[in-house]
Amino acid sequence: MADVDERPGRGRTAKDLALALWFPAFFVLGFMLFYLLPFHAPAPHDIPVAVVGEQAAVAVGDELATAVPGGFDVTSIAAADDIRQAVFERDVVAGYDPGTHTLFVAKADGMQLVQILQGIFAPLSTAGGAPLQVVDLAPTAPGDGFGTSLFYIAMAWNISGYIAVMMMMQAVTLSRRTKLLALAGFGAGAAVVCWVIGTSISAIPFHPAVLLVGFLLSQAVAWTTYGMAPFVRRALPGVAMGMFVLLSIPSSGGAIPKEMVPGFFQALHHVMPLGQAVDAARGILYFEGTAVTGPILGLLAWWAFGAVLVALGARRERRAADTAPAEDSGQESEQELERRIAEAVADEAAVGGAHPDSLADARLLAHPVPTLIGRITDARGCPVPRARVTVVDGAGAQVDVAAGSEDGRFAVRGRDGEWVTVLVSAPGFDPVSQRLRLDSPVAHRSFLLGVPPERAGARAPVPASTA
């Protein structure tokens, strides 16, 4: 008999552990697949290079194909004077003039790429009878020795948008409009802060236009993450981090040039917002504003996609509210509470925590078990703010504990089909307890707290009914 009673407990423990550890497990596996695999041995993959002269381009292409199979995509160009335009228009990343043994590069594309190109073309030039000469067409800022400072600034814009949503969702007392406005304001502030710090230490050139890129990147990530919340629910951290961190960083071309990662990540570079932001910012900072229209439009498309998701989520909520029956004012009040708690649960469950003024703890969604919601009032019918609600199972183990909101609302979780004891207490009031069986998905129960006799004096209590 003891074994029979023990199995459900073990099953519940295993389920709770799985729900608690799936995200860290996803994080570990994601880093191995999307960071270690593309970064452990970066190598050239179809690097576009221009060579002066058709015959020379064919000869150089054959030599490169022999030295590094599949590493370079060689095209011919009429004259060395045309190389700069080809590099600035992002058609190629480098150009080689065999006649003068000169390699034209752009350090702004990444120091690793420049080193690879020098190492490949130096033997070719030496075999041709002269040492290689290197000309940097797009040098980085004085404080950016490795050409990666822009990437770290863009990372701050990118990840801060995701984190802002995760934290904003806990503030369930704020409306959706207020949250979105706050995300926009935060994105603008983050863009300015990163730009000011970057320019003050000469990590990037002084170009205020790059502020637009930072703002658009933060909003593209933030609005899309926020819009996905009602649809992916508990999977939001994994989905958002998978999209905007695990897939975006290796394909961004910031830490490792995109020409040195596998083709899968090269293809993602032009799709993910971080890659688009890096291209746009590089174009503004180092390439005289050329080839930035496409990336800017891409960031706007991501923002618009997020706005559509937000609108669909709001419509879905309104339709659910419209179809709910309302027979009397008491029922309307409870339905409004359910609506607010449903929104709170959908937001909070993704971040694993609860705001002090929350109506529902984030665990309500992470642990899909019957939930008790209601309101705590005093003898006059006034709400009791910040009351403590504790749920204890039949064995005396604490199931959940939560603090009520300022208007007396509370939400706690119980045990599926089991009897629990609910203890309610607040400073200045006599605590109350009640034994309940929670069989419905969402149970309603209000509690009345009385004032101790020594504090009540001769005042007669006013009867109040419970819901």
Q: What is the DSSP string of 177-217?
A: HHHHHHHHHHHHHHHHHHHHHHHHTTSS---TTHHHHHHHH
Instruction: Give CA–CA dist 226/164, Å, rounded.
Output: 10
* Cβ-contact 191, 218 below 8 angstroms: yes
The owner of tokens 């590089």 is 282
Instruction: Give CA–CA dist 355/285, Å, rounded.
Output: 41
pLDDT per residue over 356-397, tens digit each? 334 444 444 434 445 788 889 988 888 998 899 998 887 777
What's the CA angle centered on 429, arms 426 and 431, to 5 degrees? Answer: 70
What pLDDT, on the 0 to 100 scale, is given for residue 172?
A: 58
Is the predicted pLDDT of residue 458 greater than 60, yes or no? no
Structure tokens at 359: 């109506």
Strands (E), 208-365: none
* Cβ-contact 110, 138 below 8 angstroms: no
Instruction: Give CA–CA dist 217/191, Å, rounded.
Output: 9
What pLDDT, on the 0 to 100 scale, is given for residue 339?
A: 52
End-to-end CA distance of the chain: 39
pLDDT per residue over 33-72, tens digit each? 888 888 888 889 899 999 999 999 999 999 999 989 999 9
CA distances to 5, 189, 396 from 420, in Å: 17, 48, 9
What pLDDT, on the 0 to 100 scale, is given for residue 302?
A: 97
Burial class of 163 by CB neighbour count within 10 A (0 to 12, 13 to 18, 19+): middle
How confident is the prediction for the chain on average, in pLDDT? Answer: 83
The helix (H) or strand (E) run that includes residue 265 is helix 263-269
**What is the sign, positive or negative, of the torsion defined by CA atoms of 167, 170, 171, 176?**
positive
Q: What is the DSSP string of 2-49?
A: HHHHHHHHHHHHHHHHHHHHHHHHHHHHHHIIIIIHHHSS----SEEE
Per the model's pLDDT, the better-predicted residue between 298 and 25 turns out to be: 298
**68-71 contacts: CB < 8 A, separation 24 or more?**
68/43, 68/44, 68/120, 70/45, 70/46, 71/43, 71/44, 71/45, 71/46, 71/47, 71/120
What pLDDT, on the 0 to 100 scale, is given for residue 150?
A: 95
What pLDDT, on the 0 to 100 scale, is given for residue 351?
A: 44
What pLDDT, on the 0 to 100 scale, is given for residue 321?
A: 58
What pLDDT, on the 0 to 100 scale, is given for residue 279?
A: 96
pLDDT per residue over 320-342, tens digit each? 656 544 444 444 445 554 555 55
Is the predicted pLDDT of residue 132 greater than 90, yes or no? yes
The DSSP call for residue 430 is -
What pLDDT, on the 0 to 100 scale, is given for residue 400?
A: 83
Query: What average pLDDT score do residues 172-199 get?
Result: 91
pLDDT per residue over 68-122, tens digit each? 999 999 999 999 999 999 999 999 999 999 999 999 999 999 888 999 999 999 9
Torsional class of 345: left (φ above 0), alpha (ψ -120 to 50), beta (otherwise):
alpha
CA distances to 328, 375, 411, 417, 454 from 446, in Å: 17, 5, 11, 20, 25
* Cβ-contact 241, 181 below 8 angstroms: no
**Maximum average pLDDT range among 234-248, 275-289, 450-464:** 275-289
**What is the sign, positive or negative, of the torsion defined by CA atoms of 249, 252, 255, 259?**
positive
Domain 352-456: which CATH number of 1.10.10.10, 3.40.50.2300, 2.40.30.10, 2.60.40.1120:
2.60.40.1120
pLDDT grade for 404, boundaries at 50, 70 and 90: confident
Q: How far is CA 155 from the centre of its chain?
A: 11
What pLDDT, on the 0 to 100 scale, is given for residue 440?
A: 66
Could you tell me the pTM of the whole model? 0.71
Return residue ranges of the chain for CATH 2.60.40.1120.
352-456
Contacts of 144 (CB under 8 A, 6+ apart): 150, 202, 203, 204
Biggest alpha carbon–alpha carbon distance for the chain: 109
Instruction: Give CA–CA dist 37/51, Å, rounded.
Output: 32
Instruction: Give CA–CA dist 235/221, Å, rounded.
Output: 16
Residue 273 sits at φ, ψ, to 5 deg, of: -65, -35
Per the model's pLDDT, the better-predicted residue between 7 and 79 turns out to be: 79
Burial class of 148 by CB neighbour count within 10 A (0 to 12, 13 to 18, 19+): middle
Per the model's pLDDT, the better-predicted residue between 215 and 428 turns out to be: 215
Instruction: Give CA–CA dist 138/15, Å, rounded.
Output: 55
Structure tokens at 391: 């749920």
Kindly state the percentage of the chain with pLDDT values over 70: 82
pLDDT per residue over 206-218, tens digit each? 999 999 999 999 9
CA distances to 80, 218, 275, 281 from 298, in Å: 32, 13, 10, 13
